[in-house]
Structure formats: structure tokens, C-alpha cells
Chains A and B, each alone.
Chain A
Amino acid sequence: MTATSVIELLRQQIESCEAQLRDLRQQLAEAEHDQQQEQTHDRLRHATDPHGDPLGHDMNFGIHDDFRSEVFAALSHVEADKPSAPRWPLDKSEYKRYGRQLIMPEIGLQGQLRLKNASVLIVGVGGLGCPAAAYLVGAGVGILGLIDGDTVEESNLHRQILHSTGRVGMTKVDSARIALNSLNPNVKLVAHTSHLTPESAIRILQLYDIILDCTDTPASRYLISDTCVLLGKPLVSASALRTEGQLMVLNNPPLRAGDSRGGPCYRCVFPKPPPPESVVTCGDGGILGPVVGVMGILQALEAIKLLTRNAQPPLTSEPMLAQPSDPPSLLIFSAYANPMFRSIRLRTRKPKCAACSAQASVTAKALESGSLDYVQFCGTVNPVDALSPSERISVDNYAKLRLAINPFTGMEPSKESHILVDVREKVQYDLCSLEGSINIPFSMVSHTSSHPYNEGNGRQQGAEEQTWVSSLRAYPDKPIVVICRRGNDSQITVRKMKELGLDNGGQRWIGDIKGGLKAWGQTVDRDFPDY
């Protein structure tokens, strides 16, 4: 059993390394191809050989030799005189590459030049950052900065489209650079391979024209917004969870703090952070790839709109008026609603905002000195610690209880001796579960009031809740073992069961399994799926 799993592990590792090698070879081939093309291109541009020139070919016929040499002398003279002055504002290959957006009135030559001269920073190269970066690099921004301190994990790949199977374990920034460079080698990519900190935020963000917040925690959202206000940069902020996404363009226009005509910042909209227990991550709540993809692409779109604003002067007959900024709004995307998009009007700058008002307490000095603790400001969730050691059992001991042969009866495993309650939601329970367990979803447990007679939620619900409680009451002698994904909800469930009196005043043992199914998969049953 142990030997085969080691062999299997090695096989998987070799397979992964080979995939990575294949991937690298392909990247190398592409990079070499690009370089070769560039060199050929340069040679063509600087070629003086008239025979290679289509123009020279035409002139070979019916023209005096003297005149010909004069013309060539003149042509080569011009070229020798101004070797660096380009004939067109964009490189020939750029006309070709960006042709489909160049011919749009919203972009045009001026818009493309603005993109080329612009620098954009992407904070977080995950589900939002990957598609946002891909479209901005595709569109030809001059410089793209990437910040992330994480490495690529297998569970990222369904949505973080710049990364690949072969690059699992690589830093997200490096993985993204490889993909983006092969997409468009004209864009200069700047790597910042550690997470943004209050001390480094100003130094890094000041290098860029527009910031995209593609992060996933409230602390980083406040930090990025505050820094954008201090530096006068517009901020395109998005987030996504499960089937929904939200998008805001903040600090737009990015006027200085105290100027009420400036756009609201993240603190204007959310002056106080949410309670930490209400913050759900993609790892816990789930995320559908295209949902976060849509939001990342919308961020790229808003950045392009901001960079190319007023790039095309209006027709001469119309008065020259600068387009005003769009009024501040929050776009809500909901994949399973109809309609899927909904835009709501947001407030303007908050007169007493801590970041962007005249009374702002967030200053560059406070930020750089590290005296603003964003993690503390947003709070953290303490690990659940609701039970005493005697109410908890380790996965190893539970495995013994479950699998060991009973020394008295000789053979009967102890599986039937207790009730194993799995409190993960049904959809997770259906993915994989321990044999013999029963599923009582945590949402049902937490819907159940500990004081049944104070129930104010309507009859039907009350009756339903009673079912799981009474079914456990029907076997008053069997100990109850509760398990969940990581060992938090199981503790709360044990508490609730005791409040409901299911332990018969302490006569029946009720407890949970420490570390949940994650620990079970790591130490007891290596084949148990980890999702």
C-alpha cells in the first residue's frame, strides 16, 4: 500500500516535470522565433541594397543609368541623414497587430499611442489578474507590472488562465510573464514577486498610471485604495465569488484629497471593513471560472477606456468639450440572474472620508512608516476553539476506532458502534464521503434554534429541522462523531447538539474529529480526494 503510493507519487512528479519541460521548450521556441523575426525585421528596415527593394526593380526599366544612380543616391542620402526618424508613428508590425482596434474610432492612432505610452499595474495575478493582464498585453500597453507573492497551484488552473499544468509550483508572476511574453513581446513586463505591503505600496504604485485591484482580501483593498488616493491614480477594483462579481472604478477623476469633484475611493463606499467572519474566500465558497474571468476582462476594458479617453477629438463642428468622467457606479454581475448585469449609482466622495477628504488621516508618512496596520483594521478570524480536548478525537484514533479489529469479538470492526455525522453541505458530501456516514448539512444545523419553542421562522422549516434532531434522538446510546472539511463547523455542531440535549445530560459522548476530512486524507487515507 505504502510502496505503491510512493511509486504513484514519483510517476506523477515525473509527469509534472516533463509537462513543465515541454512547456518551457515551447516557450523557448516561441521566444527564439520572436527574436529571429525581430532581427529579420531590423535588417529589412536598414537594408540599402536597391536590388532587394521593390522600388529599385521598377526603376531598372526605361530610365537612364545616370538618373537612376542619382535617384538612388538621393534615396540613400535621405536614409543616411535620418536613420532614426521613423516614417510612421507605430512600427509596421504594430499596425498589423493592433489593426482591428486601430480602426475603431474609440481607439485610433492616438488611442494606440496612449496605450503604448501607458503603464498599468496588476495587483494579484489570479482569477481576475490573469484575464485582465492578457487583454491589456494584447491591446499593447507599454508597461505592465505584476504583483503577487503566491505560487501556482493545481486548484488555480480552472480560472487563472495564464498559468499552466507544467508551471504548478512556479511563482504566479513568473508563470504569467512567460505566457504574456509569448502573447505580445512588445510589452515590457515588470515583476514584483512579493505581496504588496504598506511600506512598499507607494514606491511600487507610483511607477504606474492606472492600478488594477485584482486581490482577494479586504486588507489589500483598503491598502491599494489609500495608496491610489495618496498618489492620485485611478483604481479599477473588482471581486468575484461563486456566481457573482462586482466592479467599481474608484478615485476617478483622481483629484487630490479634499477636492469633492474627485471620484469616491474604497473607503467612501465602505468606511468600515466587513466583520472578518463574513469574508468568504474562493477556496471556501467556490468560484466559477468564467465569472471571475468576466470581471477581470471588464477591469481591462475599464483601464483601456480610461487610458484612451478623449483620444479622438470630436468632429470640428462640435465644441471641444472634454468628456466628463462617468458617474461613480458599481456594476454587479450575477451569472444566474436575468438580466445578468446591473449597474447601481454610487455616492460621491464622503465629506469625512479617512483617505480622500480634507480631514484625511491616512497620510503617506503614516503609510510608509508602517503605522497603519491593515490586517488589524480588517480583523482576522480566530480558529474555532469551542470544544475541550476530551470532546475531540484525532484522525489516527478515529481510524483505529473504525478499522481496528475488536479484541473481544475477534473480527467485527467498530463502524456500527457509533454514528458518524458529516456536516459538509450536500454538494460536497456527494463528492466524497466516509463509508457509513450520514449527512446533516451545516446550514441545516445552524438554521436550527437551540431553543425550539422560540422558533419564529414558520412551521414548515421547524418541522424539517426537527427531523435530523429526532433521528439522532432515536439512538440515545450510540456516541456521535462529527466530521467536516477542516474541523471548524464540526465543533460548532457538537456545541449545538449538546445545547439541544442530544447528549442526554452527558450520558452519551458527542465529539468531533480534529482537522476534519483534510487531516483524514493527509494522514490516514491518502486516496481520499482533496478538493
Chain B
Amino acid sequence: MGNIKFSVEFSGGLQDLFGQKKIPIPSDKNEDQIQLPKLLPGESLKLKHVIDGLAAKLKGRNAKLKLFVQGDKGFYEVTPGILVLINDSDWELEGEYEYEIQSGDQVLFVSTLHGG
């Protein structure tokens, strides 16, 4: 996994939650680093690991955390109203949480807007 480089982007207000529009992973900046699990040989990085890592950045700020993930079922699920896109296409087309991150991937989290 050491060689995988990808990016996470936020839109629809989620950028305010993370204080960033885009986080390259791995990041040059220490404070942007997200914790990813140590993978065994042959194991691959999955989207759920990235979501857990992002959620960890919001820990201790419960009101904010709930705007990104809900943990009622014992694991983190993306909060309803947020679309997850992998390389500009709906993650349902790509395997959702189990999607294996490839080098160069762009993962985009979009919160739906309601104003009009």
C-alpha cells in the first residue's frame, strides 16, 4: 500500500467539516494525514478504511462526526444525503465500502444541497 497515491475531495459543505477541499493521500502536511490500517501482504486498501480514517479526524466532535458518518450499526456508514463518487461515478457502480482503492483514484464526498 506504500505506493498508492490517491485523493479525497469534499463538496456541498463537507469541505467546511474537514477544513479542506481536497486531501492528497499521502499528504505533505502532517495535520492532513489520515490514519490508515496496516495491511497484511496481499490485502488491499478499501474505501471503508479511508472512511474510517476520515471519521477519526472528527473524533471528539460528535455533532460534526454525525454529519459525515453514523455508527449505529457498530461500523461507520456514510450519513444519508452524502453521495460517494469514485472517479466521478456513483460508488454503487463500483462496490461501495469494499471498493479497492487504486493509485490515482479520486474519491469525492458530496453532501446534497437543499437551498433554492
Residues of A within 8 A of B (CB): 124, 126-129, 213-218, 221, 238-242, 244-246, 269-275, 277-282, 285, 287, 292, 330, 332, 334, 337, 342-347, 446-447, 449-451, 454-458, 460-461
Q: Which residues of B contact A129 (CB under 8 A)?
A: 116
Answer whether residue B51 sits at the interface, using C-beta atoms and an 8 A cutoff: no
Judging by beta carbons under 8 Å apart, are B11 and A282 in contact? no
Check A279/B116 contact, CB under 8 A, given A269-B83, A460-B31: no
19 additional contacts, CB 8 Å, given A127-B116, A345-B90, A457-B31? A214-B116, A238-B116, A239-B114, A240-B115, A241-B12, A242-B13, A244-B12, A246-B110, A246-B113, A274-B79, A274-B81, A278-B111, A281-B115, A282-B116, A344-B88, A344-B89, A454-B60, A457-B60, A460-B31
Judging by beta carbons under 8 Å apart, are A285 and B60 in contact? no
Judging by beta carbons under 8 Å apart, are A217 and B114 in contact? yes
Q: Which residues of A contact B61 (CB under 8 A)?
A: 446-447, 449
Q: Which residues of B contact A213 (CB under 8 A)?
A: 116
Give B84-116 interface residues, CB cut-off 8 Å to A: 85, 88-90, 92-93, 108, 110-116
Bound-state CA distance A275–B112 (Å) is 11
Chain A residue at minimal CB-CB distance from B90: A347
Judging by beta carbons under 8 Å apart, are B80 and A273 in contact? yes
Chain A residue at minimal CB-CB distance from B85: A344
Main secondary structure of the interface of B (DSSP, over half): mixed
Bound-state CA distance A269–B110 (Å) is 12
Q: List 22 A-B contacts (CB under 8 A).
A: A128-B116, A221-B114, A238-B116, A239-B115, A241-B13, A241-B113, A274-B111, A274-B112, A275-B80, A275-B81, A278-B67, A285-B13, A332-B12, A343-B88, A345-B89, A347-B92, A347-B93, A446-B64, A447-B61, A449-B60, A454-B60, A456-B59
Q: Which residues of B contact A458 (CB under 8 A)?
A: 30-31
Q: Which residues of B contact A460 (CB under 8 A)?
A: 31
Answer whether residue B66 sits at the interface, using C-beta atoms and an 8 A cutoff: yes
Q: Which residues of A contact B83 (CB under 8 A)?
A: 269, 330, 344
Tell me the minimal C-beta distance from A386 to chain B in angstroms.
12
Judging by beta carbons under 8 Å apart, are B114 and A216 in contact? yes
Judging by beta carbons under 8 Å apart, are B79 and A275 in contact? yes
Bound-state CA distance A332–B13 (Å) is 12
Chain B residue at minimal CB-CB distance from A452: B60
Answer whether residue B56 sits at the interface, using C-beta atoms and an 8 A cutoff: yes
Bound-state CA distance A461–B66 (Å) is 21
Tell me the minimal C-beta distance from A120 to chain B in angstroms.
16
Bound-state CA distance A238–B116 (Å) is 8
Residues of B within 8 A of A (CB): 11-13, 21, 30-31, 56-57, 59-61, 63-64, 66-67, 79-83, 85, 88-90, 92-93, 108, 110-116
Bound-state CA distance A241–B108 (Å) is 18
Bound-state CA distance A126–B114 (Å) is 13
Q: Which 3 A-B pairs have the closest CB atoms?
A: A274-B81, A272-B80, A458-B31
Judging by beta carbons under 8 Å apart, are A240 and B108 in contact? no
Q: Which residues of B contact A270 (CB under 8 A)?
A: 80-81, 112
Judging by beta carbons under 8 Å apart, are A457 and B57 in contact? yes
Bound-state CA distance A128–B113 (Å) is 13
Bound-state CA distance A246–B113 (Å) is 7
Bound-state CA distance A239–B64 (Å) is 22
Q: Which residues of B contact A218 (CB under 8 A)?
A: 81, 114
Tell me the minimal C-beta distance from A174 to chain B in angstroms.
20
Other-chain residue from B13, B31, B88, B115 in contact with A282 (beta carbon distance below 8 A):
B115
Bound-state CA distance A497–B18 (Å) is 23
Judging by beta carbons under 8 Å apart, are B113 and A244 in contact? yes
Bound-state CA distance A239–B112 (Å) is 8
Bound-state CA distance A242–B90 (Å) is 24
Tell me the minimal C-beta distance from B20 to chain A in angstroms.
13
Chain A residue at minimal CB-CB distance from B32: A458
Check A281/B112 contact, CB under 8 A, given A244-B12, A446-B64: no
Tell me the minimal C-beta distance from B18 to chain A in angstroms.
11
Tell me the minimal C-beta distance from B21 to chain A in angstroms.
7
Judging by beta carbons under 8 Å apart, are A332 and B64 in contact? no
Residue picked from A214, A245, A246, A292, most chain B C-beta under 10 Å? A246
Other-chain residue from A273, A282, A455 in contact with B81 (beta carbon distance below 8 A):
A273
Tell me the minimal C-beta distance from A413 to chain B in angstroms.
37
Judging by beta carbons under 8 Å apart, are A239 and B113 in contact? yes
Bound-state CA distance A345–B114 (Å) is 20
Judging by beta carbons under 8 Å apart, are A278 and B11 in contact? no
Check A278/B116 contact, CB under 8 A, given A344-B88, A347-B93: no
Other-chain residue from B59, B82, B116 in contact with A126 (beta carbon distance below 8 A):
B116
Residue picked from A238, A344, A346, A347, most chain B C-beta under 10 Å? A344
Q: Which residues of A contact B59 (CB under 8 A)?
A: 456
Bound-state CA distance A282–B114 (Å) is 9
Other-chain residue from B60, B88, B89 in contact with A451 (beta carbon distance below 8 A):
B60
Judging by beta carbons under 8 Å apart, are B93 and A345 in contact? yes
Bound-state CA distance A273–B66 (Å) is 14
Bound-state CA distance A216–B115 (Å) is 4
Check A344/B115 contact, CB under 8 A, given A330-B83, A456-B56: no
Judging by beta carbons under 8 Å apart, are B114 and A241 in contact? yes
Q: Which residues of A contact B12 (CB under 8 A)?
A: 241, 244, 246, 332
Bound-state CA distance A242–B16 (Å) is 12
Residue picked from B21, B31, B89, B114, most chain A C-beta under 10 Å? B114
Q: Which residues of A contact B66 (CB under 8 A)?
A: 275, 277
Chain B residue at minimal CB-CB distance from A216: B116
Judging by beta carbons under 8 Å apart, are B81 and A344 in contact? no
